[in-house]
Amino acid sequence: MGKVFYYIVYAFFYLVSLLPFKLLYVISDFFYILVYSIVGYRKKIVRKNITTSFPEKSAKECKGIEKGFYHFLCDYFLETIKLLSISKATMLKHIEFRNVEKLEECFDNGQSCAAILGHYCNWEWLSAIGISFARHKEAVMGLIYHPLYSKIFDRLFIRIRMSMGGVCVPKKDILRHLLTYRRENRMSLFGYISDQAPKWENIHLWLNFMNHDTPVFTGGERIMRKMKNAVFYVDMERPKRGHYICTFRLITKEPENMGEFEVTKTFFNMLEDTINRDPRYYLWSHNRWKRTREEYQRIHQ
């Protein structure tokens, strides 16, 4: 029964993905009214996150960020569905990858790469990075992900993320995959979305991020150091609706020689700069600051 329902869901979203961008954005505008004004999806969390992240901004400015975020959230969903059918040629008309030659230089020197990023702009579209390479088409491109609770939507999003030729690896399996690629002398580039809230037992570092005392995930850095990957920060911009610029900014080619947690600290500083540039495109609906240092200290007494 589950398999039948998956194919029904897939067929529906595939048909939606065939619609032109202009029509998808008309649908998105309708969803915005539904999600923001009628349902009020996670509005309390969104409002709290924005106002506490920007205490210097007026209520009017925060409300503008809030509305802009919900507009983008609806766009994000339909843009992601579009990956089911969009051609590679059309995709490259909607996303520009910059500094790709720096990644390829690392591959030329026999060094695999890691891309560290946050939930900013449409991170799902990064799965198209491989089609922009002039060389090293054989390199493994992929995203490390946390499986969704719904098996149907987990399977659907894996298919979406693999639509441009990339691979999806559950985070618990990534080190094994990377070691296999290295034994096979295959270059790889994997994306680590590293701004999620870690579980209590995985908290090893607290940072001041967006005016919050924030526990941060450090597992990605440990893997990058172990694999001696060149580490790039993914800086995304959205100059207009349906168009993205993705710039790969080198953090280090020798993460193993940096101080402990320096990669993570650098990443969060760069991410904060990106968010401050245009806050509308950050995932404010995530309950990012649900864990506090006081609770952590109480648990670990």
Does any domain span residue 246?
yes
pLDDT score at 284: 98
Q: How far is CA 114 from CA 111, 178, 223, 291, in A?
A: 10, 11, 9, 27
| Residues 214-228: tens digit of each pLDDT | 999 999 999 999 999
Q: Is the pLDDT of residue 301 over 80?
A: no
The whole-number pLDDT of residue 1 equals 63
Q: Is residue 240 part of a domain?
A: yes
User: What's this model's pTM, rounded to 2 decimal places?
Assistant: 0.95
H helices of the chain, in order, are 2-17, 21-32, 43-53, 59-82, 88-94, 100-108, 151-161, 174-183, 219-227, 262-277, 293-299
In a domain, 173, yes or no: yes
Evaluate whether residue 29 is within a structural domain.
no
- Tokens standing for 60? 């009017």
The closest alpha carbon to 267, from 234, 301, 241, 244, belongs to 234
Which one-letter amino acid corresponds to residue 205? L
Q: How many domains does the chain have?
A: 1
Assess if residue 5 is contained within a domain: no
Q: What is the pLDDT of residues 54-101, one digit of tens each?
A: 999 999 999 999 999 999 999 999 999 999 999 999 999 999 999 999
| Structural domain boundaries, residue 238 | 91-299
Q: Name the residue type at position 282.
A: Y
| Cβ atoms of 66 and 281 closer than 8 Å | no
pLDDT in tens, 16-36: 999 999 999 999 999 999 999
Interatomic CA distance for residues 287 and 172, integer angstroms: 23
In tens, the pLDDT along 121-131 reads 999 999 899 98
Q: Where are the beta strands (DSSP E) in 194-241?
A: 206-209, 212-215, 230-240
Q: How far apart are CA 55 and CA 51, in angstroms?
A: 6
Does residue 134 have a pLDDT over 90?
Answer: no
